[in-house]
Amino acid sequence: MSAPRLAALLLAALHLPAAAAAPGYAVVVAEEVLARPGWKAVCEALREKHPGSVQVTWKERPEEALERLSERHPAFTCFVAPCTATGPDFVASVHRLTRRYDADPYTDTRWGIVTGYDAAAALELVRFDRPIEVRRTSSGTAIAMDMVEEAVWYDELVANKKVAKIGGATEATEERCPTDTTRLLAATLSDWNADLFVTSGHGFERGWQIGFRYRNGFFESEDGKLYGKEISGERFAIHSGHPRVYLPIGNCLVGCIRDKHAYALAMMKEAGVKGMVGYTVPTWYGYAGWGCLDTFLEQPGRYTLNEAFLANQLALVHRLSTAFPALMKEQPEPGRTHRGRAEPSDDGRALGVTPAEGAGLLHDRDVLAYYGDPALDARMAPRRCAYEQSLEREGEVFTLRITGNRGERSFAPVHTNGSQRGGRPIVQFLPCRLGKLEILEGGEHAPVVADDFVLVPNPGEGGPDRMVIRFRGTEIAAGSQP
């Protein structure tokens, strides 16, 4: 084994979240969906894939599953539904349900939605059972090139601009490219076999507009098929069987699935996507989407894609519940949040939150979907992060150590392209659920120590580059309550 590969494996071990081995997997499905043979096979495949899992059904609304989910408190919850039943209201109901397993305001499980063009497509998604290590990244927007092994991105803001780091290069180089990058981007999926695809700009339920400030082509979907459409109007099919994950972090609506023509379905069916996030409504604030780059791509190897999605949701809820606690009770129709001002709490003012942020955080809270098996092990190839974090255990005492790697810039934004970038708190998942929690050291850092994670507010640029949080907790047996 080569020295670089050995070093990468050692780094992966250091960053491997302790919660990966947490027990408990639940498959949640409507009774009438389970009665269909094809979808029943999807549920059975999930339960075979995850031994010891439980199946929870509901009749009228997903909320009917709450009592059993609260009793079980699974580490993973997979919602199975056909594409005609996974619209924005369903996604919002999943967000709200999964925050109610216990009394705190935070999401209580790693959740995902398994759907597909049809039951056969969903079954193929479920049967994928290999890790995805992201070594090649393709993007339609600027990304942090020092955090990726190989990457190419085409600028959505500036025509004819391409930035690449490929073939063992250690530095990224800029070069000129055609204005129409439709075929070039498609080739990164079908020929170059990118493991991660990142997009931003204008999106809609059935496609993605490649250029944001200039005219470019489109990716489009129709009846489960995926196409590229050039500026000339010429359309060509896109197909790739290479397994990958997809982060359309800045796109409106590309996570909205209402029927078989949805773009997200075509990406899963025709472009090898095994896990993805996506907005189900128009996006204007951006915290939920763009933050997934902060947690997944810019902390390479630390989190799986689903864990990165969850870590960013925890960050959002922490900011909203701390700064605007009254807004946490609101359950607006997805995409209909009033863009008004809300006066922040004293704690919010201490965080530097502005009155306008409340509406944005509330808008983003329940509208970003995760599609795929939540237990999918998809993560960036490990690289040196801006800061290190490690969790030690001695009996009932746990110690979280956080150490900066970039001096006073250890907690500064890694990259600023997009919206609401940087400032994400440090999130450490725990190896088990804990009760009877007591903070022993590090209270001055205002940590949140919950039953299955620790969250430490980001100290920001110039803040302390070493922090220690020590706490005591009693392990809760799987399926038990504290």
Q: CA-to-CA distance for 431 and 316, rounded, in angstroms? A: 23
Render pLDDT for 410-448 as a digit per residue (tens, 0 to 9).
999 999 999 999 999 999 999 999 999 999 999 999 999
Angle at 423 between CA 173 and CA 141, to 5 degrees: 30
Q: Contact, 381 vs 301, CB < 8 A?
A: yes
- Cα-based distances in Å from 314 to 27, 149, 424, 454: 22, 28, 10, 10
Q: Angle at which helices 263-270 and 119-127 pack, to 10 degrees?
A: 50
Q: What is the CATH number of the domain that holds 410?
A: 2.60.40
Last residue within a domain, chosen from 282, 301, 316:
282
Confirm whether 250 is domain-assigned. Answer: yes
Amino acid at 328: M
Q: Contact, 110 vs 307, CB < 8 A?
A: yes
Last residue within a domain, chosen from 219, 254, 282:
282
Render pLDDT for 188-240 as a digit per residue (tens, 0 to 9).
999 999 999 999 999 999 999 999 999 999 999 999 999 999 999 999 999 99
Confirm whether 252 is domain-assigned. Answer: yes
Render pLDDT for 318-370 as a digit per residue (tens, 0 to 9).
999 999 999 999 999 999 887 776 788 888 887 788 888 999 999 999 999 99
278 and 164 inside one domain = yes
Give me the percent of the chain exceeding a pLDDT of 90.
89
Q: CA-to-CA distance for 415 and 138, rounded, in angstroms? A: 17
Give me the percent of the chain exceeding a pLDDT of 70.
94
Q: Total domain count for the chain?
A: 2
Residues 234-253, mean pLDDT to the nearest whole number: 98
Q: CA-to-CA distance for 456 and 472, rounded, in angstroms? A: 16
Q: Angle at which helices 357-365 and 305-323 pack, to 10 degrees?
A: 140
- Cα-based distances in Å from 66 to 72, 74, 75: 10, 12, 14
Last residue within a domain, chosen from 250, 282, 314:
282
The confidence band for 23, taking pLDDT boundaries of 50, 70 and 90, is low
Identify which has the larger pLDDT, 440 or 18.
Answer: 440
- Give the predicted TM-score (pTM) of the model: 0.93
Confirm whether 458 is domain-assigned. Answer: yes
State which residues form the domain around 246: 132-282
Q: CA-to-CA distance for 264 and 270, rounded, in angstroms? A: 10
Which range has the worst mean pLDDT, 136-145, 240-249, 470-479? 470-479
What letters, b where the CB count within 10 A reaches 16 and e where it falls short, cover 199-220? Answer: bbbbbbbbbbbbbbeeebbbbb
Burial class (CB in 10 A: 0-12, 13-18, 19+), 187: middle
Burial class (CB in 10 A: 0-12, 13-18, 19+), 334: buried
Residues 288-305, mean pLDDT to the nearest whole number: 98
The confidence band for 1, taking pLDDT boundaries of 50, 70 and 90, is very low
Amino acid at 362: L
DSSP class of residue 20? G
